[in-house]
């Protein structure tokens, strides 16, 4: 992943992998059909000679921005940034990128860096933890709210419905409801599987949906 570099975090999607390095660089490799590697193209990385190491470029997350947490779904990738913002890229047909559209991001030029907007999760909110399922995404916020968006066909968004969220205008930000985990309860940890999520609560209890 680069001369003298160490990996501080790793996450694996369906056919791609992302690593966070000790110099705060973020690199992804593997299948890139949907732009999930975040390089502004659909070229695979790691499957040909001289495509890794120093030749594998770091992902542009915006001017002065670095990743502090990373996670991957099947065909999309997400990062929590050093300022508490969150960005996702790759396959977006279910709204899992949180851009209030079904567009893919990262598969074409000019789609990453400052042009990739941070996900709006509510006025003044920042992200503490996050997880990505197959085609949905969840974030634990600084006010202890837990929000999920993307494919909701199996109830994995925790909103007692089976519709998708984040794929149409007006569904994100303050309009995206927090998951009701019970009176006086909030999540301290979140993890997502293919089509379900689980949260560890402030009481030590785990709930899944």
Q: What is the pLDDT of residues 111-147, one digit of tens each?
A: 999 999 999 999 999 999 999 999 999 999 999 999 9
Domain boundaries, the chain: 63-208
Question: DSSP label at 105?
Answer: B
In tens, the pLDDT along 41-85 reads 999 999 999 999 999 999 999 999 999 999 999 999 999 999 999
Q: At the topology level of CATH, where does 63-208 sit?
A: Methylamine Dehydrogenase; Chain H (2.130.10)
- How is the beta sheet containing 26-30 ordered, strand by strand? 7-12, 16-21, 26-30
In the beta sheet, which residues pair with residue 131? Answer: 138
Q: What pairs with residue 130 in β-bridges?
A: 139
Can you give the pTM of this predicted structure? 0.96
> 151 in helix, strand or coil?
coil
Structure confidence at residue 120 (pLDDT): 99
Structure-block tokens of residue 41: 């193209």
> What pLDDT is attached to residue 170?
98
């Amino acid at each position: 992943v680069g001369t003298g570099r160490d990996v501080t975090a790793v996450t694996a999607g369906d056919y791609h992998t992302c690593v966070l390095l000790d110099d705060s660089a973020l690199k992804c490799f593997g299948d890139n059909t949907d732009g999930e590697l975040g390089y502004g193209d659909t070229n695979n990385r790691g499957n040909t000679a001289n495509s890794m190491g120093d030749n594998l470029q770091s992902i542009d997350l915006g001017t002065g921005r670095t990743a502090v947490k990373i996670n991957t779904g099947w065909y999309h990738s997400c990062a929590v940034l050093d300022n508490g913002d969150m960005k996702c890229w790759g396959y977006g047909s279910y709204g899992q990128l949180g851009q209030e559209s079904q567009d893919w991001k990262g598969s074409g030029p000019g789609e990453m860096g400052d042009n990739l907007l941070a996900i709006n999760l509510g006025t003044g909110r920042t992200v503490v933890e996050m997880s990505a399922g197959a085609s949905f995404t969840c974030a634990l916020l600084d006010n202890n709210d837990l929000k999920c968006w993307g494919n909701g066909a199996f109830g994995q968004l925790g909103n007692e419905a089976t519709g998708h969220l984040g794929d149409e205008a007006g569904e994100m930000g303050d309009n995206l409801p927090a998951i009701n985990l019970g009176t006086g309860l909030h999540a301290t940890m979140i993890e997502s599987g293919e089509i379900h999520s689980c949260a560890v609560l402030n009481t030590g209890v785990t709930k899944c949906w």
